[in-house]
Structure 1
């Protein structure tokens, strides 16, 4: 890719592109340029830089000004569905950085949007805004599935011990209604990124994942259908980059078991809507996905409020 191409040209979008259009273009370009899929690392870096600049309204405004153009950025407003409510008046987060400020990191002090001091119009109270874990495994309907609740509790324990201390601005929300029906076990919000996590409990051993099916010894095992929920949440929150992860726990709690063997195209990554992974690699991949996104130290209280509204 030529160095002087604009970010809009890199992604192949118009200057008036919405957040949804930017995200769609990024996913397509990332699949083509990712080194794991035969692409070029330099091209993939240009695509990633273009996305993370244009998806951040403040960075996009600065970028547009650098070309002598007036920013026409308008966040796509998410439709109302279930208990998630609708986007706030701005349609998305509004973060302002100094033009020469360095890129924020996950270890930087947490930034709340709107600030915690703003009380009258704040979408969420202070206590819930600063709380890192929301909700717990609960019954669904009249009869509770004890095995499922125990499995969800194990996932919460894993994330609270291994992930949240490293990403203090991340918010873990447990037990949500899926917009299209069904349930979402866990959702992790960090800046402009959202990870949806489901889980399975399987015997130790070696499993093969080809991107859509899980196999052991030639036997097919159906993982949770997480991709529809990812697509639905992406539609509800166009300002976010949403991915899905299914963590496989071993009966004895060994984080390195079971072992997942990946076919070409099935490797875990941020451009896939349905990743299957063991516990230790879930922590590693989520640290990369959530911690390297734009503004990983940001808590958008409007988005968090809408997520909490989707809890059951």
Structure 2
């Protein structure tokens, strides 16, 4: 019934979005089949019981979800290689363009293809189809007791920008807002997934003018501005999802909503510069994200396991 490395959700055959009621029903069904008194296997019954006790307790489930969201560390590479034959190598940040000869090249504008498909006989999907088919998940909201209205407004501008400029061009793209950072206790404003590419996005609001980006700081005249610290988060997410190509983007909005302001020039890299994070204005973000996602392997793929794990990380 189960494998040693199956998640609690797989043991009970419920999606990661299952309610307490659905978990209880699934447990009763699984316990009847696996109980030794009914001819079942004792080890399997212990797995079923542990899964239920973990998922039905809110605190234990939250702790498990944080661990589960980091992904399986000991999964067989054979299966992963077969599923992601043209994905980047583990930890790679290079563009992956390997393609099987004789097969049509999927484009970012094609209809979404779900991997694994939702019509597999007997399979229990990690998330419901109506959830996987949504292009936008979550919205900016308050964190803790006090919510920063300015932060929420600039994050909403980023959501609107991506929803209008990027998502219509890439039907398989999925935007997840409000993630808990795996690197620390901070948050990731936005994550955009398409195929085997993942963009992590932060937002800033700065006055109009000309800025210089050297890979570490933004400079406006003699003033230096440190953008959101995304580099460590990008590396952490790359470690969690080695089958993906993960990059970071900081979009700088202008007060009046002009997509081409402020102007950001990319100057000579500093010693502390990083190539994994780009700092751009709104027009540059829309253009850069479309290019990044469209250039990846199978850009019309909705990677359901990755999407499910990202959704469980929403705060």
Q: TM-score, normalised by structure 2?
A: 0.69
Q: Deviations over 1:122-146 (max 9, x none)?
A: 2111011111000000111111111
1:198 aligns with 2:202: yes
2:292 is paired with a residue whose SS is helix
Equivalent residue for 1:103?
Answer: 105
2:265 equivalent among 258, 261, 285: 261
Equivalent residue for 2:251?
Answer: 247
2:151 equivalent among 148, 152, 171: 148
Equivalent residue for 1:116?
Answer: 118
- Mapped to 2, the partners of 1:204 and 1:167 lie a distance apart of 30
1:218 aligns with 2:222: yes
Alpha carbons of structure 1 residues 82 and 203: separation in structure 2 relative to 1, 3 Å: farther
What's the offset of the Cα at 1:92? 7.6
1:180 aligns with 2:183: yes
What's the offset of the Cα at 1:85? 4.9
Question: What's the RMSD between the two structures over aligned residues?
Answer: 2.3
1:142 is paired with a residue whose SS is coil
- Mapped to 1, the partners of 2:177 and 2:313 lie a distance apart of 10
What's the offset of the Cα at 1:302? 0.4
Q: Which has the larger radius of gyration?
A: 2
What's the offset of the Cα at 1:84? 1.5
Aligned positions of 1:1-312 closer than 5 A: 81-82=66-67, 84-87=69-72, 90=79, 94=83, 100-118=102-120, 120-181=123-184, 182-265=186-269, 272-312=275-315
What's the offset of the Cα at 1:103? 1.6
Alpha carbons of structure 1 residues 164 and 245: separation in structure 2 relative to 1, 3 Å: same
Q: Deviations over 1:7-60 (max 9, x none)?
A: xxxxxxxxxxxxxxxxxxxxxxxxxxxxxxxxxxxxxxxxxxxxxxxxxxxxxx
2:305 is paired with a residue whose SS is helix
Unaligned runs of 5+ in 2: 1-64, 86-98
Q: TM-score, normalised by structure 1?
A: 0.69
- Mapped to 2, the partners of 1:101 and 1:109 lie a distance apart of 17
Tell whether the 8 Å contact from 1:82 to 1:177 is kept in structure 2 after alignment. Answer: no
Unaligned runs of 5+ in 1: 1-79
> Number of matched residues?
230
Tell whether the 8 Å contact from 2:204 to 2:251 is kept in structure 1 after alignment. Answer: yes
2:258 is paired with a residue whose SS is coil
1:154 is paired with a residue whose SS is helix
2:83 is paired with a residue whose SS is coil
List structure 1 runs of 4+ shifted beyond 6 angstroms. Answer: none
